[in-house]
Amino acid sequence: MLTHRLALAGGAHRSFHHANLRSLPDKLRRQQIGRLEILWMDPQAGSRNAITPAVLERLFFRKLVLQQFERDPRALTLADALAATELSAFDLAAEDDVRWALKFYPRGAARPILSIYLAGDGRTGSIGHVRYSFNRPLLDWLEQSAQGGQRRRASQKNAK
């Protein structure tokens, strides 16, 4: 079950993101998310500065766009991963060095309803401008689904 601790000031932003995140598993199960975009940058790639969400949006290594995500069986496994995700808001001056982004779009929408950014190890990240610590289910899903999809496409090409 998705949990969230609102112990810091600025709870309105945290509550907004929390409500959007808590509703995602249900939206995925109801087939209301039409497109998912996953951005990735290799965590081993060095950088003199932290890779912020804005930098990741411009300089990603890979972008996987899952159109008609409401029909994709991975939507249900993502719903399960999000439901199992626990997060805690925290407030530190330094920004995370993010390497993953998940951008959720309702069917037919041009703008995402929610974007989640994760560090390479998946332990920290942000939703909007609020920083969180995360447990593993979401990163496990990303590594299995996004990178597994890359491997499946490569093996399909090699088989032809």
Q: What is the DSSP string of 60-87?
A: -SEEEEETTGGG-THHHHHHHHHHT-EE
Contact yes or no for 101/57 (Cβ under 8 A): yes
Tens digits of per-residue pLDDT, 40-91? 998 888 777 888 999 999 999 999 999 999 999 999 999 999 999 888 877 6
The pTM is what?
0.80
**Model confidence band, residue 15 (pLDDT cutoffs 50, 70, 90):** low
d(CA 140, CA 152): 17
**Angle CA 20–24–29, to nearest 5:** 155
**Domain ranges within the chain, ordered by starting residue:** 11-159
Average pLDDT over residues 110-122: 92
